[in-house]
Structure 1
Amino acid sequence: MFMQFNINKKASMLMWTLFMMMAPLSIYMMLSNKTTLIEWVLFNISSTPIMMTIIIDPVGALFSSTVIMISANVLQFSTTYMGHDKFIDRFTVLVLLFVLSMNMLIFFPHLIILLLGWDGLGLVSFILVIYYQNPKSLGAGMITALTNRIGDVMLLLSIAWTLNQGQWNIVHMWETGFWNWQSAAIMLAAMTKSAQMPFSSWLPAAMAAPTPVSALVHSSTLVTAGVFLLIRFYPLMSSTPWFNPLLLLIAVSTTTMAGLSAMTECDMKKIIALSTLSQLGMMMAAMGLGMVNLAYFHMVTHALFKALLFICAGTLIHSHMHSQDLRWMGNITTQMPTTTSCFILANMALCGAPFMSGFYSKDMIVESSIFYSNNFIMLTIILFTVSLTSFYTTRFSLATIWGPSNCNPFIWLEENKSLTTPMLILSSMSTISGSALIWVMSMNQEPLTIGPVMKNMPMIMVMTGLLVAWYMNTQQLKLLPVMMQIPLTHHASCLMWFLTPLSSQFTMKTPMLISHNYLKNLDQSWLELLGGQGVASSSFLASNSMMNMFNTKPVNYLMMPSILVLLTLTLL
């Protein structure tokens, strides 16, 4: 009876109902700019109350509405993409559990209860990554789970270091003697969940999950949980002198590495994952520069157009017999017009094309970093990564939309209602959300007075990356980028600056050798001789030798047990 209910067909409707309830609340909270705290005491330990706290503020309400809307579209998309799966209802329940964990993380500012949502995200993400149950998915799931487990341990340590305050509410915390250690622990936890260097390798590996999982989990919710945690803690953590410079350095390194790696990648989902990594670095860089409102603004707009990009990519993968290689695709303009249009819109928003949602947040981050006095090297690298984004986006579009088709001629490209409806909804949101949010959100943004050249510098870098990518990818192979001509740099780019082997095979090699030597030298040698198996084999050999010494008569078989008993008693 439970299987006949068809959860997968009702889940999208449930999410849309919740969105209709959350959207008016989030608009009201943003317009009024109010924060509501609901607290009740669960129990007391001596004189310390353990309270359940719910915070309803503009930041949490808007982000929750975004997550619910994206999950409604992704669940509708999954009814076609996962339609042939016998266990689609189990998949839908896992996605709903993920949305529940994300909302627990958003609305509970209590560190101990927030840990439930934090751990729930990691556990459900691991189950969804290993959903296809093959060795590649299991390896990717283990990297994902173990990397996120580092963040869980850091949160547990920060809970222990907050014990002397007598409460774990984020809103009411103050600086203590352990505050430097606690800041480092929270920052490490956010870095693991948001895949910042050196914990970046799990995000492209997690693309082994089904595409609806990638559209929801690895674009807009799980990876932004670390950014959201830092936004919650930012008023307190920004007082630590080393926090902002260190966060800026890590974020700029991450976004540069991801942009360079996406230039040489051929797996469609990995390119989008690396672009997610690049945009997460941009959010962290904005926070490192002190622009926390702009980081949050970019997080919301990025969630919308990145989910759209994953759904468009999922439609292409579904139509190409679940192949993810760019080199097998091309010329989808005439056969898939809706997907092509939405795909171009998502790429334009990602690059920061004027009047798209990504333009308002990304352009404002770059302009603010130019206006305020910052490190010139960091500013140059940020501008360089803007051109890298347009470079790999143009290469991506040339291979899938305008390039020649290299796939099997018998492949049927389809666009049914379950595929086009989520794309059209998310593309409209990716177009209007940036301007709508900048009108509604309460941001104390100072007027920026900069020259026309610096004002247009983000668009100049975008156009530079676009033209260079167009020229290099439409000419002969001799004009390939320098990174693809030199073997070392090509391998470094494909392996994310060697972070992939360093975080997986390299770390497992020494423990594997130690355990293998232990198995050979102890378990299969001395422990076998001295253990029960060795004693049994030696007694068996002794009895056989004694039987060979005497005549084999029936009385000898009767005497052997008594002799063994006498020997045992003598030894005791």
Structure 2
Amino acid sequence: MSMLMPLALLKSSSKSSIILFLYSMILMPITLSFVMTNKMIMLEWEILTISTTTFTIPLILDPVGIMFSNIVCLISACVMMFTSSYMSADVFLTRFTWLVMLFVMSMNLLIFIPNMMTLLLGWDGLGIVSFALVIYYSNMKSLAAGMLTALANRLGDVMLLLAIGMTATQGHWNIMFMWNTPMSTMVMVTIMLAAMTKSAQIPFSAWLPAAMAAPTPVSALVHSSTLVTAGIFLLIRFYPFLSSHQLFNQMLLLISITTMLMAGVTANYEFDLKKIIALSTLSQLGLMMMSISLGYPSLALFHLFTHALFKAMLFLCAGSIIHNNSNNQDIRNLGALWTQMPLTTACLNVANLALCGAPFLSGFYSKDLILEVSLTNPTNLMMLIMIFIATGMTASYSARLSMYSLWGPLNHKPLHQNKDEDMLMTTPIMILSFMTIPLGELLQSMTLNFNEDINMPMTYKFLVIISITFGVWVSQYFFKLATNSTPPTMSYPHHLNFSMWTLTMFSTQPLIKQPLYMGAKLHNSLDRGWFEILGGQGTMLTTTNLTKVNQMFQVNFLTTMLMISMATLTAYLILKS
């Protein structure tokens, strides 16, 4: 009993971190066993049968799902340990912890349930809990971002419900056993749109940077292994069915490459630290979608795993920097952090290099393979050019971020001191950094099965390095750009790129400004104008005037009758005399 007393004194976030670490450690040998034996276990409980349709709750235990669940829980444990210090003064920390645990549980339901009907438990759970987490800080910015996030996710929910309705003729909703029907093309389109909304592909990209209004630990979880990866994971699960439609690969390739390019360009114009990292997530999601569209879902899954680790580390490093700089997120107000926060700076550099695909870090093994297979596929030349420009943009905004915040001149407030002394914040960052370095090679052998050697020209192998070098060179231009200008004084191309190619405009208030203005004009001219004159107000005014005339007539009626009577009597007497 005395051994349990220290645990009872821990914060709720620390307790949840311990639980998640234990779950991840227990799951590790199970994961290795399933991967080595390539075993799959399918459990199914029948709930109800109506006519020929059976409602069941299936559960699938396979190497992909168990490995993904392990990574999700490990990252969540690190995030909750970080939260114990980052949000130590928050009065609603227990509520926040429960929301995060619900979020993790929803993601695990999505991973382990292969049935479209019951998959909604995890899919909808992610959408609802993400809304609650984004609006955690009760201010106008958080509420606006939460509403945008919720509406974008609602679109995906509707698409998934349409797919469920159109596949009812099959008598089941198990995604492992889908087959072509007369409506299969529409089912493919709805599933793809559902995945696009969750993974923020064009034109549903605006909610992802807006969701940065949530606390930084939420951003680390959402952008690494949970909400945004749900759409990717759905497409990987559905891939045997979706790939039977040629239209699917063509549409997804165009959308994913455009998203990559847009996110890369926009990140080079952004100055908000968290938004730059969010846009880098959007760029990597486009890369995963591109891998699926090229016919390599296993590579997309591989990059999903490696990206989850270094992206969580990137957000935790950003959270540590923001926490030490009085919640300042503008990279123009940072600088020379390497002299004051060497540990965070080193981990941030590791994460940035892994994001760029620097050799022998975890991101290199997955990103390099995806770019190489794009060269061997029958892809349009313009598409290839866009792919490698987007890859260069990744290196560009990563180098720009480092130049502003880590190596640039000191732009802090006077007498401001940063430090790397909080172990609750630095320990999870170090755990993720130690895993980021060797895990790429380990996961490559676990997730990919090559039956033959792939021989490629040496120029293909150097294309990734050339793209990274080109991106670092381009970052010098963006670093020297007029950085002190504000959006109202920007040039049109600058403003276009800053606003995510107007997606922000078309997804938020400017889209409805003109209809609201026209509505106000119509309200004044019709509801408060002609309709009032011809309707209630006009009728009341006319009735009031007629009533006044009638009242005057009634008041003077007796006098008038007496006058008429007197005049008649007088005339009679005069005539008779």
- Answer whether TM exceeds 0.5 for this pair: yes
Match of 2:119 in 1: 114
What letter matches 2:464 in structure 1? P
Q: Secondary structure at the match of 1:242?
A: helix
Q: What secondary structure does 1:373 align onto?
A: coil
What is the rounded CA distance, in whole Å, between the counterparts of 1:275 and 1:226 in structure 2?
Answer: 17
**SS in structure 1 at match of 2:338:** coil
Give 1 or 2 for the bigger CA radius of gyration: 2
Provide the residue aligned with 2:569 in structure 1.
Answer: none
**Correspondent of 2:275 among 262, 270, 295:** 270
2:141 aligns to what?
Answer: 136
Distance, in Å, in 1 between the alignment partners of 2:169 and 2:103 is: 33
Q: Is the 2:362–2:440 contact (alpha carbons within 8 Å) kept by the matching residues of 1? A: yes
1:436 equivalent in structure 2: 442
Distance change in 2, residues 1:527/1:215 (3 Å)? farther
1:456 corresponds, among 449, 459, 462, to: 462
Provide, for residues 119-149 of structure 1, a one-character-per-residue CA deviation record: whole Å limited to 9, x for no partner: 1111111111111111111111111111111
Deviation, 1:80, is 1.4
In 2, are the aligned partners of 1:155 and 1:189 still within 8 Å (CA)?
Answer: yes
Equivalence map 1:484-523=2 (5 Å): 487-513=491-517, 515-517=519-521, 519-520=523-524
Q: Does 1:427 align with 2:467?
A: no
Distance verdict in 2 for CA 1:47–1:337, change over 3 Å: same
- Greater Cα shift, 28-37 or 222-231: 28-37
Aligned to 1:565: none
Aligned to 2:560: none
Distance 1:47 1:238, change over 3 A: closer
Q: Structure 2: how far apart are the matches of 1:514 and 1:222?
A: 37
Residue 256 of structure 1 contacts residue 385 of structure 1 at CA under 8 Å; is this kept in 2? Answer: yes
Question: In the alignment, does 2:72 pair up with 1:71?
Answer: no
**Structure 2 residue 411 is the aligned partner of structure 1 residue 406:** yes
Pair 1:366 & 2:371 matched: yes
**Closer, same or farther in 2 for the Cα pair 1:477/1:54, shift >3 Å?**
closer
Alpha-carbon offset, residue 409 of structure 1 = 2.1
Residue 354 (structure 2) pairs with residue 349 (structure 1) = yes
- What residue number does 1:256 align with? 261
Q: Secondary structure at the match of 1:265?
A: coil
Number of aligned pairs?
Answer: 543
* Partner in structure 1 of residue 567 of structure 2: none
Per the TM alignment, residue 467 of structure 1 is displaced from its structure 2 partner at its CA by 3.3
258-267 or 498-507, which deviates more = 498-507
Partner in structure 1 of residue 194 of structure 2: 189
Task: For 2:434, give the aligned amino acid.
Answer: S
Q: Deviations over 1:364-388 (max 9, x none)?
A: 1111112233222212211121111
Q: Tell me the SS of whatever aligns to 1:133.
A: coil
Structure 1 match to 2:26: 21
In 1, are the aligned partners of 2:142 and 2:214 still within 8 Å (CA)?
A: yes
Could you tell me which amino acid in structure 2 is paired with residue 307 of structure 1? A
Distance 1:49 1:239 in 2: 26
* Structure 1 stretch displaced more, 434-443 or 147-156: 434-443
Work out the CA distance in 1 between the residues paired with 2:494 and 2:147: 26
CA separation in 1, counterparts of 2:448 and 2:503?
39
Other-structure match for 2:51: 46
> Where does 1:126-525 land on structure 2 (aligned, <5 Å)?
126-415=131-420, 416-444=422-450, 446-469=452-475, 471-472=476-477, 487-513=491-517, 515-517=519-521, 519-520=523-524
Whole-angstrom distance in 2 between the partners of 1:179 and 1:295: 24
- Output the amino acid matched with 2:444: I
* CA–CA distance in structure 2, aligned partners of residues 189 and 167 of structure 1: 20
CA distance in 2, matches of 1:411, 1:396: 21
Q: Report the alpha carbon displacement of residue 225 of structure 1 after superposing the two structures with TM.
A: 0.6
- Secondary structure at the residue paired with 1:290? coil
- Displacement after TM superposition at 1:16 (Å): 1.0
> CA-to-partner distance for each residue in 1:486-530, whole Å, 9 max, x for gaps?
812111110011111012234323542454356545665657996
* Native 8 Å contact 2:52 2:171 kept in 1: no
Q: Distance in 1 between matches of 2:68 and 2:14?
A: 25
SS of the residue corresponding to residue 171 of structure 1 reads helix
Aligned-pair identity (%): 48
Q: Structure 1 pair 518/5, CA: closer, same or farther in 2 (3 Å)?
A: farther
| Runs (5+) with no aligned partner, structure 1 | 552-572
Deviates more, 1:142-151 or 1:305-314: 142-151
Taking the aligned partners of 2:429 and 2:139, their CA distance within structure 1 comes to 30
Offset, 1:192: 0.7
Q: CA RMSD in A?
A: 2.9
Deviation at 1:321, TM superposition (A): 0.7
Cα separation, 1, equivalents of 2:543 and 2:482: 72
> How far apart, CA to CA, are the structure 1 residues paired with 2:220 and 2:349?
17
377-386 or 253-262: bigger deviation:
377-386
Q: 1:237 and 1:47, CA in 2 relative to 1: closer, same or farther beyond 3 A? A: closer
Amino acid at match of 1:114: L
The one-letter code of the counterpart of 2:151 is L
Query: Structure 1 residues 127, 492: CA separation in 2 closer, same or farther (over 3 Å shift)?
Result: same
Q: TM-score scaled by structure 2?
A: 0.88
CA contact (8 A) 1:356 1:434 kept: yes
Tell me the distance in 2 between the aligned counterparts of 1:84 and 1:157.
44
1:220 positional shift: 2.4
Of the candidates 109, 117, 127, which is equivalent to residue 104 of structure 1? 109
Deviations 1:265-311 (A, max 9, x none): 11111110111010001001111111111011001100110000000
Residue in structure 2 matched with residue 10 of structure 1 by the alignment: 15
**Contact (CA 8 Å) 1:219, 1:273: kept in 2 or not?**
no
Amino acid at match of 1:466: V
How far, CA to CA, are the matches of 1:464 and 1:283 in structure 2?
22
What letter corresponds to residue 193 of structure 1 in structure 2?
Answer: K
Take 2:167 and 2:115, find their aligned partners in 1: how far apart are those partners? Answer: 12
Contact 2:65 2:111 in 1 (8 A): yes
- The 1:38–1:405 alpha-carbon spacing in structure 2 relative to 1, beyond 3 Å, is same
Indicate conservation of the 8 Å contact 1:200/1:499, yes or no: yes
